């Protein structure tokens, strides 16, 4: 690609792309290509001028950057793969053009058309606002459209066409900016929400092969099991499953899927196993569905947003009443109309949602995905927080320390068998077993029949005609009634309790115990301390692990309370009890067994590397890199509520001042309308700024 360096300083370069015209698509391709270079710290491509401003770091970065620009080519598969389905550039261009069109048309009319023609056009444009006002009245509501219609109609009846035209111009500008602001916030948020599925089980020649998601083509058959996310749109060809479709359809109850049923990318199998033939490739239509979900979901609205919306509507009758009263007392129509030029609802209804959407977008910059404003509000108000242990306070990548065989079994063979069963289920403990087998070079073929996953307990299957179970002590010995081989009770009693233990039994007899070390996150103690400092008065750890392991971890991290050997329903019951005590509760987990508690909590938070069902049910997902995201989430949530309350005070105070000045005759109606709209935009723009 030919380009010319226009300006250069230390670590910054502005280049001009030598071509007649750059399309929006080409600008996106160049921008994402450059942004993906490891030595580029920032890039902005301007399609209108064909320029790119690039910031880079490193001693050899300048030369490498020039070479990268030289070899760049548009529309290559490698470049296209870097560009997401939606980038936001086209959306911004659409609204920029609409704004420019409104402004240009207004001033061309004022310059080229005689006054009588402008007056006729003003009456014609006013019909839209009158119609909206009448619609409100016919529905028995007195809301903002009634105020707008009244102000415009009064101005026209008084022969003040310039004021009416100015009011309609400002209202139109406000409408475009409001729509643009909201759509941009939703667009930014939608682009941060991804499936988080990198690999899938593909059925090839009767076998299941783990393949990268981007290698899957239309017509391929995928196997999806309990706790896993359906990665692509398709149709069930075999099996039966209960699928949670809340993320796509809003249905609260899981839907039964059998052969012939359609399934959608991003939904989760809560129970069962099914084979899905892919009908849509990765990304097809998913962005649009996410946008629809965000815009329609009631979860998006926080209590503060609802309060703002209701307050705005309740103030409209008072504004109309004050207008009539002012006219009756003063006989001055100009002073009365000044009240109509100012309403509280524009700023209240726009600034509050924008504040929430901006806070959610800012969270995404820290690896935090939030499904709705009310969950951030819950985080800001919460006094109690409940942690799962495995994969949450401890690392999401535990590892196998040793395998202790029983009944004369071979340790490597038992680990190989365990990995064969565990590889189908996305949980940190299962991943540890699979990784442990891989480290030891133990290849495991598909020897088992249908696998049954029992939530929070373990896995049951059949291998070479023998029943095999693997899971917790409770599952293996109490539920499945397995026994310890004769003469090996002493070895069983001597099992190291500082590790998490997985029990493997064949034909009802213990065959091996897999010891898994679950190292504590380095940052966990400091995060717990900071959460205490942020206002959490009760921090609890709940785990299905044994007493000794749980107590050790609890002491190291500094939680207030610790509960061990608990079942999923125990965690949910604890949260219900906290609710009855009047506490707002947050739950943090990563596994299938955490799902009931995540659903029960005021705000359920899942770890991004956890089970798909946990991420689906959770209201918030944080990055697995570190737990400091929890502190950041609390800080952003509290700052969001502070900004909302500050916006309330500013909007009410400023607009009330405009009304007083208008009634006093100091401000004419057009000036009041201008200042009102300007303040609304200023507050809205301020609400879009980052909180931290």
CATH 2.70.150.10, applies to 199-293: yes
Residue-wise pLDDT for 458-511, tens only, equals 788 888 788 999 988 888 998 889 999 999 999 998 888 778 888 999 999 999
Classified as helix, coil or strand, 672 is: helix
**Confidence band, pLDDT 50/70/90 cuts, at residue 13:** very high
Active-site residue, 590 included: no
Assign 277 to helix, strand or coil.
Answer: strand
Banded pLDDT at 404 (limits 50, 70, 90): very high
**In this model, does residue 188 exceed pLDDT 70?**
no
Listed residue (4, 631, 646) closest to 304, CA to CA = 646
Q: Look at residue 245 and tell me whether its pLDDT is greater than 90.
A: no
Q: Which of 289-293, 355-359, 511-515 has the lowest mean pLDDT?
A: 289-293
Mean pLDDT over each residue of the chain, to the nearest integer: 82
- Per-residue pLDDT of 671-682, as tens digits, reads 777 787 778 778
| pTM (two decimals) | 0.65
Please state whether 260 falls in left (phi above 0), alpha (psi between -120 and 50) or beta. Answer: left
Q: Higher confidence at residue 574 or residue 472?
A: 574
User: Would you list the domain boundaries of the chain?
Assistant: 3-83, 93-190+301-355+640-687, 199-293, 368-395+520-622, 399-517
Beta bridge partner(s), residue 483:
509
What is the number of residues in the chain? 692
Picking from 399, 401, 436, the residue whose alpha carbon sits closest to that of residue 417 is 436
Mean pLDDT of all residues in 141-149? 78
The residue with greater pLDDT, 188 or 217, is 217
pLDDT, position 298:
42
In this structure, what DSSP letter does residue 665 have? T
Query: pLDDT tens digits, residue range 33-58?
Result: 998 888 898 899 998 899 999 999 87
Q: What percent of the chain has pLDDT over 70?
A: 86
Choices 2.60.40.10, 3.50.50.60, 3.30.70.100, 3.40.640.10: CATH for 3-83? 3.30.70.100
Residue 99: pLDDT band with limits 50, 70, 90: confident
pLDDT at 512: 95
pLDDT value at residue 320:
79
Flag whether pLDDT at 195 surpasses 50. Answer: no
Predicted confidence at residue 392, as pLDDT, reads 85
| Closest among 421, 396, 449, 425 to 226, alpha carbons compared | 425
Which CATH number is 368-395+520-622's, of 3.40.50.720, 3.20.20.330, 3.40.50.1000, 3.40.50.300? 3.40.50.1000
pLDDT tens track for 513-551: 999 887 888 899 999 999 999 999 999 999 877 787 788
Catalytic residue among 343, 388, 590, 602: 388
User: Mind listing the pLDDT tens digit for each residue in 549-570?
Assistant: 788 889 999 999 999 888 778 8
Instruction: Report the SS3 class of residue 267.
Output: coil
Examine the pLDDT at 22 and tell me if it is beyond 70. yes
Task: Please give the pLDDT value at position 510.
Answer: 94
Percent of the chain with pLDDT over 90: 22
Write down the pLDDT at residue 264.
81
Q: Does residue 630 have a pLDDT over 90?
A: yes
**Average confidence (pLDDT) over 118-133:** 91
Task: Tell me which architecture the domain covering 399-517 has in CATH.
Answer: 3-Layer(aba) Sandwich (3.40)
43, 56, 67, 125, 606 from 63: Cα distances, Å: 17, 11, 6, 58, 43
What pLDDT shows up at residue 287? 54
Query: What's the confidence (pLDDT) of residue 297?
Result: 47
Asked if residue 386 lies in contact with residue 585, where contact means CB atoms within 8 angstroms, the answer is: yes
Can you give the pLDDT at residue 543? 86
């Amino acid at each position: 690609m030919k380009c010319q360096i226009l300006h250069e300083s230390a670590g910054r370069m502005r280049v001009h792309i030598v071509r007649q015209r750059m399309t929006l698509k080409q600008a996106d391709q160049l921008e994402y290509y450059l942004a993906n270079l490891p030595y580029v710290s920032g890039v902005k491509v301007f399609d209108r001028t064909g320029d790119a401003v690039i910031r880079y770091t490193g001693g050899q970065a300048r030369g490498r950057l020039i070479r990268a620009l030289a070899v760049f080519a548009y529309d290559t598969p490698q470049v296209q793969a870097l560009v997401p389905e939606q980038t936001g550039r086209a959306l911004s261009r659409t609204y920029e053009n609409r704004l420019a069109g409104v402004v240009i048309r207004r001033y061309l009319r004022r310059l080229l058309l005689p006054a009588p023609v402008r007056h006729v056009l003003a009456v014609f444009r006013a019909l839209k606002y009158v119609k909206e006002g009448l619609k409100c009245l016919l529905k028995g509501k007195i809301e903002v459209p009634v105020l707008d219609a009244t102000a415009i109609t009064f101005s026209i009846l008084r022969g003040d066409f310039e004021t009416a035209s100015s009011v309609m111009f400002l209202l139109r500008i406000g409408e475009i900016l409001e729509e643009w602001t909201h759509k941009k916030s939703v667009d930014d948020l939608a682009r941060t929400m991804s499936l988080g599925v990198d690999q899938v089980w593909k059925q090839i020649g009767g076998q299941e092969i783990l393949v990268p998601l981007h290698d899957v083509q239309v017509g391929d058959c995928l196997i999806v099991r309990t706790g896993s996310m359906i990665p692509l749109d398709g149709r069930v060809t075999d099996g039966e499953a209960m699928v949670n479709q809340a993320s796509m359809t809003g249905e609260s109850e899981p839907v039964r899927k059998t052969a012939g049923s359609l399934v959608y990318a991003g939904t989760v199998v809560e129970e069962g196993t099914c084979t899905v033939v892919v009908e849509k490739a990765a990304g097809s239509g998913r962005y649009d569905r996410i946008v629809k979900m965000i815009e329609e979901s009631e979860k998006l609205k926080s209590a503060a947003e609802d309060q703002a919306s209701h307050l705005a509507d309740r103030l409209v009758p008072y504004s109309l009443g004050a207008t009539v009263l002012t006219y009756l007392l003063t006989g001055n129509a100009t002073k009365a109309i000044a009240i109509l030029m100012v309403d509280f609802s524009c700023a209240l209804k726009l600034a509050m949602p924008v504040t929430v959407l901006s806070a959610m977008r800012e969270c995404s910059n820290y690896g935090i995905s939030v499904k709705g404003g009310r969950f951030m509000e819950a985080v800001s108000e919460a006094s109690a927080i409940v942690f799962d242990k495995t994969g949450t306070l401890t690392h999401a990548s535990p590892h196998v320390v040793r395998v202790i065989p029983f009944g004369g079994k071979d340790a490597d063979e038992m680990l190989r068998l365990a990995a064969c069963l565990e590889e189908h289920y996305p949980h940190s403990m299962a991943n540890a077993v699979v990784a442990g087998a891989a480290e030891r070079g133990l290849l495991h073929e598909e020897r088992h029949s249908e696998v049954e996953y029992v939530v929070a307990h373990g896995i049951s299957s059949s291998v070479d005609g023998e029943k095999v179970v693997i899971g917790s002590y409770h599952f293996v010995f109490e539920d499945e009634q397995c026994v310890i081989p004769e003469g090996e009770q002493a070895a069983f009693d001597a099992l190291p309790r500082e590790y998490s233990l997985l029990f493997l039994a064949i034909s009802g007899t213990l065959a091996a115990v897999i010891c898994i070390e679950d190292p504590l996150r380095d940052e966990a103690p400091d995060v717990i301390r900071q959460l205490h400092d942020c206002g959490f008065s009760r921090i609890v750890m709940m785990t299905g692990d044994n007493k000794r392991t749980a107590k050790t971890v609890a002491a190291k991290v500094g939680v207030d309370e610790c509960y061990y050997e608990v079942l999923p329903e125990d965690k949910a019951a604890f949260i219900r009890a906290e609710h009855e005590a009047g506490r707002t509760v947050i739950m943090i987990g990563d596994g299938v067994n955490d799902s009931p508690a995540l659903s029960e909590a005021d705000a359920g938070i899942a770890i991004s590397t956890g089970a798909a069902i946990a991420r689906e049910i959770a209201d918030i997902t944080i990055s697995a890199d570190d737990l400091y995201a929890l502190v950041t989430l609390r800080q952003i949530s509290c700052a969001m509520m502070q900004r909302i309350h500050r916006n309330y005070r500013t909007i009410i105070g400023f607009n009330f001042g405009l009304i007083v000045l208008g009634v006093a005759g100091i401000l004419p109606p057009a000036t009041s309308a201008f200042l009102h709209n300007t303040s609304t935009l200023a507050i809205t723009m301020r609400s879009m700024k980052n909180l931290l």
